[in-house]
Chains A and B, each alone.
Chain A
Amino acid sequence: MWVDDHIIDCCSLLNLYTGWGGLAELRELRRTWYVCEAVLNEAEYTREYGADGVPVLIPLDMRGLIQSGILHSARPETEAEIDDYVNFACVPGVNYPDRSASIILSGAIGRKSPVKSFWICPVS
């Protein structure tokens, strides 16, 4: 039932993480939050500014977030979900979904559940 609640894509996850300085607030919202497996490998680190103003790369421990229960990982499981995942990966042109987006969409369709995901464009 992983799409019953909220799914976060990689782009949004980075934005939320940097905006909040972590993802602990997600727990306060009393929902179940999912990221697809691809995101676990793509969200490598975030960046913070040290006291001297120099940017510092902070490793983003996605596995730790999963283990702590703040996030749950998801992947297409049923045959229908895998079919949809592959079909989404074939979509060319505008809004061509990448791996994580394809997985999210296929899961949502396969389980006939609404997706409430954050699609926040990166702000520079």
Chain B
Amino acid sequence: MKYESVDLAGLAERLIAARRAANVTQEAAAKHLNMSRPTFIAIEKAVRRPRPEELVKLAELYKESLNKLLRDDPRPPQLRPQLRSVLDLAPGGQRELEEAVSLLSAYIDDYQYLERLVEAKSNTHFPPQVRIAPGPIERFAEHCAQEERARLNLGAHQPIYNLRRVLEDAGVHVFVDKLDSKLAGLYVFVSDFGHCILVNRVHPKERRRWTIAHEYGHFLAERDRPGVDYLRPMQRKPESERFADSFAAAFLMPEAGIQRRFYEEVERSGDFKVGDLCRMADYFAVSLMAMALRLESLGLIPRGSWDQICESRVPVRDLKQEAGIQPSQDHDSFEPYPQRYKLLAVQAFVDEKITEGQLAKLLRCSRLEARDIVEQCSEIGDDGDGTPSRVPLSLTHSLLAVAAR
């Protein structure tokens, strides 16, 4: 394909997205190209095709690869218009939010690009949308969480350790990246692709898991409304936030499972102490506060128990240490992109559809790390003489076609 054939509207949208991600004003970009602002605006409005040298200069200014700006695919998802209402209402930290929106847009763009390259399609059999019923919203959220756990075959008692993979199968794409510490996460639904969530990497794993479950609650209840969640939300939470909070609590800490474990402990020792609370929070991979408030809401411990723990001013870290809990790694909610994204990137590389440099960019790592990932994604095979060899995975290889021959 020649540059002249590249869709001008798509190119203009990519240029706008790249400029915003780089925090460059239209005026500065116009000056960089030594042209007037109206002429530059004509480029972003897809009225004027930038000359090759102008495009190269813009790619350098935006620190974006030329290949990405010239991707031959449908227009990139423009999340900003969808998130405009949220951006406009941002109480400050507009820049941080803009950066987060750019990050999520880039992940979605890359994921969809990989799907097209490898000819793999996302699961679009999304869970049915729920309509919030009149009455106590917490009870309704509890009901929805139970239904979802049953639908996803998660049972009624067990913790969900591989939360992200479970939700990926339900059409939820979770990305994890470094955001401003005030931001917990943001979410947007992209039709024919899925619900996309960006979670703050700097938060502890329990908080990340909570954010993922919370945003899943939003997906179920208000699919078409994108949004942002802050670490310390507003005092008076709207109904949708209360639903998402209650849903997250019930989804991660199922009532039946919590009760069973609580009474097992009470039966064993005749009591339920702070140490037991710590171990239970660890078992369900939630924060101590989330578990304490959950037990309070289920009436298993008295209201105000969490406040009492806070008043003691003993750091949670010390409480956990005393309860014998070792800090654990959580790769599931720490990887920047879903496992499927990684496999698609490796597959595209193995199929020679992308170069090593592009692979490294898509995987957000150095070339050496990208080589390691390719190696990890290969299976150890056996040549027949006992010599192990690496067999690159081929996701698009049809097993049924082989059987039919």
Q: Which residues of A contact B (CB under 8 A)?
A: 10-11, 14, 38, 42-47, 57, 76, 79, 82-83, 85-87, 89-102, 122, 124
Contact = CB atoms under 8 A, between A and B. Distances in A.
Interface residues of B, number: 32
Given A86-B3, A89-B67, A93-B353, A10 B367 contact: yes
B158 interface: no
A42 B360 contact: yes
A85 B355 contact: no
B356 interface: yes
Contacts of A93: 353
A47 B55 contact: no
Interface of B: 1-3, 5-6, 52-53, 55-56, 65-67, 70-72, 351-358, 360, 366-368, 371, 374-375, 378, 390
Contact of B55 (A44, A86, A96, A122): A86
A85 B55 CA distance: 11
A101 to B, nearest CB: 6
Given A86-B56, A90-B1, A101-B355, A122 B67 contact: no
A90 B65 contact: no
A47 B56 contact: no
Contacts of A90: 1-3, 5-6, 70, 72
A3 to B, nearest CB: 19
A124 B1 contact: no
Contacts of B374: 122, 124
Contact of A99 (B52, B66, B375): B66
A95 B352 contact: yes
Q: Which 5 A-B pairs have the closest CB atoms?
A: A98-B357, A86-B52, A89-B66, A98-B355, A92-B72
Given A44-B366, A90-B72, A97 B56 contact: no
A32 to B, nearest CB: 23
A41 B66 CA distance: 15
A66 B17 CA distance: 34
Contacts of A83: 3, 52
Contact of A94 (B65, B70, B353, B371): B353
